[in-house]
Amino acid sequence: MSLNTEVQTLLAQLGVTPEAGPLPTRTPISGESLGSIAEHTAAEAEAAIQSAHRAFRDWRNVPAPLRGELVRLLGEELRANKAALGRLVSIEVGKVVSEGLGEVQEMIDICDFAVGLSRQLYGYTIASERPSHRMMETWHPIGVIGVISAFNFPVAVWSWNTALALVCGNAVVWKPSEKASLSALAAHALLERALKRFADAGHHAPDGLSSLLIGGRALGEALVDSPKVALVSATGSTRMGREVGPKVAARFGRSLLELGGNNTAIVTPSADLDLTLRGVAFAAMGTAGQRCTTLRRLFLHDSIYDAFLPRLKSAYSSVKVGNPLETGVLIGPLIDDGALVGMEKALDDARAAGGTVHGGAAVTGLGGAYAHPALVEMPAQVGPVVHETFAPILYVMRYKDFDDVLEKHNEVPQGLSSSIFTNDLREAEAFLSARGSDCGIANVNIGPSGAEIGGAFGGEKETGGGRESGSDAWKAYMRRATNTINYGTTLPLAQGVSFDIG
């Protein structure tokens, strides 16, 4: 069966019949077309935003635990359709099978998390300085959440945002990556099924509560520019965030930016090198280097450099590159030819900056943009090392002094994820301390990639500063009100101010 035939079968199973139109879809596995589908127009985008805004005005009044029931039903639909949606993701963006399924598992996990959260949108009660007064904080829905997502997690990122946004009482308009429209149509169809079951059970979910805009960046810009969109949650390149952030700020909207990373591992003299090898290999080569948290900079201590690097090189040369749907393949294709060109350019730049490149050759004849993963020994953190190239390139550098490597670690403009491999408690704790990693994610004895949904996810500096998913990331989707209640019969003013009107 051709991949296109398989995709059409999966779409039918997931309840999607894409309308024909001008937007091409393809699989990076073979380059084969998956059909051309209809795009939304600017007028449709505007209508979706208006309709979401009307829906929000209703949905905010639905008790949060009942809003959680809708998300519980979404989780059920995802569980029942995990195999089909995971397979579709694998075909549309070229992930190995377990990673396609893992992406859907992450969606199920965030639904479970959000259902619990729907009964835990807690605010503080605060001691008042005035007699017979009480202060408290309440959290309220904020409005329409615009979600802009990237190709590499084509459906999970939407679910992180949507599950939280819905329990928080908001409506959602989603602009997925134009490179992953079919997965988006399928994921959204599952939410539509959940909405129908919610309504069939006698609950009210307003029309327009969630909608999907299929097409290019102009539709993302419609979300960015609309004063009706209270929060723009945008995941993608730093270039994109640099355009989105200031535009949303100029209209005093909120943005939650999840942008590029340049993630690290520091391997110290006491590290368990067997465990380190597995951690580094997955973090650097998994998803063909196309995770925002992919390991890109590896600092090896001088004392273990010569023992560890040959083992890593051997893992690099033995890993199987090819069709990600085949058993045993660990590295699938890059998303498109442009990504391969970017990888080749970065390797040329690394050579020009004094680097020694191992691997990295393109693999031809498979129909897609495939490459062997590259290990690059660099004399210093220069040239392409300070940029994110969305491909499987790992820059390896030698260090001698721990304080110096911490400085180097934080020298790059990105601040997403980081890790240290060590059995030295002092080093581990220093890495996690105020003078340690400046990233949003800092790990010990586990690579920088592969986060769980329970923690807040995101990073600092050019990564954008946003946090989504677990912990108290839900607060970004709500507005906080501070309330003071006077249950006495006098009106004392704060700070002892008097204002006696006689």
- Residue 421, CA distances (Å) to 114, 418, 431, 445, 466 in order: 33, 10, 10, 5, 26
Nearest of 145, 174, 166 to residue 40 by alpha carbon:
174
Task: Count CB neighbours of 161 within 10 A.
Answer: 29
Separation CA 294–CA 257 (nearest Å): 18
Nearer to ligand NAD, 240 or 343 (CB): 240
Per the listing, tokens 């948290």 go with: 293
Site for ligand NAD contains 377 (CB under 6 A): no
Structure tokens at 23: 């937007």
We find the least distance from the C-beta atom of residue 218 to ligand NAD, in angstroms, to be 8
Binding segment (CB under 6 A) for ligand NAD, from list 72-80, 236-244, 267-275, 323-331: 236-244
Site for ligand NAD contains 148 (CB under 6 A): yes
* Pair 186, 159: CB distance under 8 Å: no
Separation CA 127–CA 285 (nearest Å): 52
- Catalytic choice (69, 103, 258, 427): 258
Among 56, 139, 151, 431, binds ligand NAD (CB under 6 A): 151
Per the listing, tokens 């077309």 go with: 33
Among 92, 109, 178, 377, binds ligand NAD (CB under 6 A): 178
Nearer to ligand NAD, 261 or 324 (CB): 261
Active site residue 258: yes
Among 224, 230, 325, 340, binds ligand NAD (CB under 6 A): 224
We find the least distance from the C-beta atom of residue 462 to ligand NAD, in angstroms, to be 10
Nearer to ligand NAD, 220 or 332 (CB): 220
Site for ligand NAD contains 358 (CB under 6 A): no
We find the least distance from the C-beta atom of residue 452 to ligand NAD, in angstroms, to be 14
Binders of ligand NAD among residues 39 to 98 (CB under 6 A) are: none
Binders of ligand NAD among residues 393 to 452 (CB under 6 A) are: 416
Q: CA torsion 432→307→284→301, rounded to 10°?
A: 30
Among 75, 169, 208, 220, binds ligand NAD (CB under 6 A): 220
We find the least distance from the C-beta atom of residue 209 to ligand NAD, in angstroms, to be 21
Separation CA 252–CA 230 (nearest Å): 9
Per-residue x/- marks for ligand NAD, 326-355, CB under 6 A? Answer: ------------------------------
| Torsion angles phi and psi, residue 231, rounded to 5 | -135, 130
Residue 418's SS3 state is strand
Structure tokens at 236: 């993608």
Nearer to ligand NAD, 21 or 123 (CB): 21
| Torsion angles phi and psi, residue 13, rounded to 5 | -60, -35
Separation CA 179–CA 417 (nearest Å): 25
Per-residue x/- marks for ligand NAD, 252-271, CB under 6 A? Answer: ------xxxx----------
Residue 398's SS3 state is strand
Among 59, 153, 198, 431, binds ligand NAD (CB under 6 A): 153
Among 118, 159, 235, 264, binds ligand NAD (CB under 6 A): 235
Q: What angle do CA 294, 260, 297 make, to 5 degrees?
A: 40
Site for ligand NAD contains 392 (CB under 6 A): no
Separation CA 46–CA 58 (nearest Å): 19
Q: Which are the contacts of 372, defined by CB distance < 8 A and separation ≥ 6?
A: 316, 317, 321, 331, 359, 360, 361, 363
Among 87, 175, 297, 467, binds ligand NAD (CB under 6 A): 175
We find the least distance from the C-beta atom of residue 392 to ligand NAD, in angstroms, to be 14
| Torsion angles phi and psi, residue 147, rounded to 5 | -110, 120
We find the least distance from the C-beta atom of residue 317 to ligand NAD, in angstroms, to be 26
Binding segment (CB under 6 A) for ligand NAD, from list 24-32, 217-225, 277-285, 444-452: 217-225
Site for ligand NAD contains 240 (CB under 6 A): yes
Per-residue x/- marks for ligand NAD, 274-293, CB under 6 A? Answer: ------------------x-
Among 159, 161, 211, 463, binds ligand NAD (CB under 6 A): 463
DSSP 446: S
Separation CA 399–CA 267 (nearest Å): 9
* End-to-end Cα separation, the chain, in angstroms: 89
Active-site residues, by number, are 258
Interaction site with ligand NAD (CB under 6 A): 148-153, 175, 177-178, 216-217, 220-221, 224, 235-237, 240, 243-244, 258-261, 292, 388, 390, 416, 463
